Chain A
Amino acid sequence: MIELVNVNKSFNGKQVLFDINAVFHKGKTNLVIGASGGGKSVMLKCMVGLFKPDSGQILYDNRDFVNLSYEEVRGIRREIGMLFQGTALFDSLSVEDNVGFPLKMFSKMSAEERLDRVNFCLKRVNLENVNKKFPSELSGGMKKRVGIARAIALPINYLFCDEPNSGLDPLTSRVIDNLLHDITHEFNITTIINSHDMKTVYDIGENIVFMHQGRVFWEGPKEEIRSARSDKPELDRFIHASFIE
């Protein structure tokens, strides 16, 4: 479980996150939704330590990530997998080397064991026979799947996904959504997904956090989101604009 307590963040005097309080549950797909510029990505980057919050706590199973030493932060990061918006695959490495990279850095596996694990992860994301290809030779959806395979190569406790569906067609988006949902339950991990795709919310969302202008406006299970619309005009406008209904 990850808990955010009164997290604030500003850049050059401009506040971007205002007293964020949220809980992300283990074994669930936690979705952070909201319009672009609402602070979702900044919050995610604060949570993985790429930005340091001005104040507040980020608790990884009661370990305060913000106030740990750099070495301790690196320790927690080894329990984290992340799928970046642009996938962030290493251009100079093949698919096999990209997925095997965390294993090479942090595990004591032999080359054969590493290859087995890489093949298992690639198979898990429905990608086979692409081991020797380079990221530039892959489609957007394939890159996302390689990104997921890399994220789960080591046994992780937390999976972060920043806009996993951006730039993908609706069919591929559903494939990625289902993959993330299945992996969350299969490995019993805390998954946090930034998205503005309401279809994703209705398909795989279990715990939803709605952000607007740097604040958490609503948080709760997916089943309650419809009833919450009447009290929260911002949420209503966001859902309405998605043309789902």
Chain B
Amino acid sequence: MNLIFDVGRYVLFMRNMFSKPERLKVYVQRTFDEMVAIGIGSLPIVAIISFFVGAVTTVQTAYQLVSGFIAKSVIGTVVSDSTLLELAPTITCLVLAGKVGSHIASEIGTMKVSEQVDALEVMGINSAGYLALPKIVGGLIMIPCLIIIANFLGIGGGLIAGKYSGILTPEQFIIGARDTFKFYTLFISLVKATVFSFLITSISSFEGYYTTGGALEVGEASTRTVVRSCVMILVFDFLIAKVLL
């Protein structure tokens, strides 16, 4: 019953969010602020994670491909395809669910419990739209950009790890990566990034917006956001893979 109630409330929250903005200019300004917070603020962690995930994938793929009959360039193929299809969008978004999602939920949740959301409503402002819409739009723009960067860094990390651990040369890696590269793979990566970014920002805004109580409940909302976002990312990861591949 709780699940049905929450889904219904989530749908209503989404519907309420899309009303005519009181002042478009303010919303646009807030969207730019959110883009900076989400995009620039998350860049270091995304860069570190994607680089090392790519590097580890190269080392582990090489460990598993022990047969001398398999060309070393296959490692480049496996690493680049895995990065584009799964590692960059999914791992990065799972991390962003923790970083961006919990931040949004705690920010809006704190505003809720300290009556700041009520203050917006009393002023005649659509609080759901004012608080959540710029975050969702900002996320939809910036998270796919982060995923593109993560794709480059992941493949780059694999290439560098291959070179410096003596597994394969950069030329072999690039040949492998280029041989099987399809734009459709990149397209799937971006579809995933877009869907996941919507899930992260909307679920976190929803959880924050319906927080009641005090500091303890804000913490619980933040935790719930991360758990629910991660689960939904994995569910939609499977669905997108099933539909598009």
A interface residues, Cβ below 8 angstroms from B? 45, 48-50, 74-78, 80, 82, 84-86, 88-91, 101-102, 104-106, 160
Contacts and interface: CB of A to CB of B under 8 A. Distances in A.
Contact of B122 (A50, A75, A104, A105): A50
B22 A106 contact: yes
A102 B121 contact: no
Task: Kindly name the residue among A49, A84, A105, A106 whose own CB sees the greatest number of chain B CB atoms within 10 A.
Answer: A105
Nearest to A90: B116
B14 interface: no
Contact of A104 (B23, B116, B119): B23
Given A85-B115, A88-B115, A88-B116, A105 B121 contact: no
Contacts of A105: 22-23, 26, 123, 125
A76 B116 CA distance: 19
A149 B119 CA distance: 14
Contacts of A80: 122-124
Contacts of A50: 118, 121-122
Interface residues of B, number: 16
A86 B122 contact: no
B121 A77 contact: yes
Task: Kindly name the residue among A45, A75, A78 whose own CB sees the greatest number of chain B CB atoms within 10 A.
Answer: A78
Given A104-B23, A105-B23, A106-B23, A77 B115 contact: no
A50 B127 CA distance: 12
Task: Kindly name the residue among B22, B26, B119 whose own CB sees the greatest number of chain A CB atoms within 10 A.
Answer: B119
A80 B111 CA distance: 20
Interface string B165-202: 00000000000000000000000000000000000000
Contact of B121 (A49, A90, A91): A49
B126 interface: yes
Interface in B114-161: 114-116, 118-119, 121-126
The 10 closest A-B pairs by CB, nearest first: A77-B124, A88-B115, A88-B119, A74-B124, A78-B124, A82-B122, A84-B115, A88-B116, A105-B22, A48-B122
A85 B115 CA distance: 9
Contact of B116 (A49, A78, A91): A91
B118 A77 contact: no
A152 to B, nearest CB: 12
A104 B26 contact: yes
Contacts of A49: 121-122
Nearest to B20: A71
Task: Kindly name the residue among B26, B110, B116 whose own CB sees the greatest number of chain A CB atoms within 10 A.
Answer: B116
Given A105-B26, A106-B22, A86 B123 contact: no
Contacts of B26: 104-105
Nearest to B110: A91
B114 A86 contact: yes
Contacts of B123: 77-78, 80, 101-102, 105-106
B48 to A, nearest CB: 28
27 contacts: A45-B118, A49-B121, A50-B122, A74-B125, A75-B124, A76-B124, A77-B121, A77-B122, A78-B124, A80-B122, A80-B123, A80-B124, A85-B115, A86-B115, A88-B114, A88-B119, A90-B111, A91-B111, A91-B114, A91-B116, A104-B23, A104-B26, A105-B23, A105-B125, A106-B123, A106-B124, A160-B122
Contacts of A90: 111, 116, 119
B125 A82 contact: no
A86 B111 CA distance: 12
A38 to B, nearest CB: 20
Contacts of A86: 114-115
Contacts of B126: 74
Interface in B12-55: 22-23, 26
Contacts of A160: 122
A2 to B, nearest CB: 14
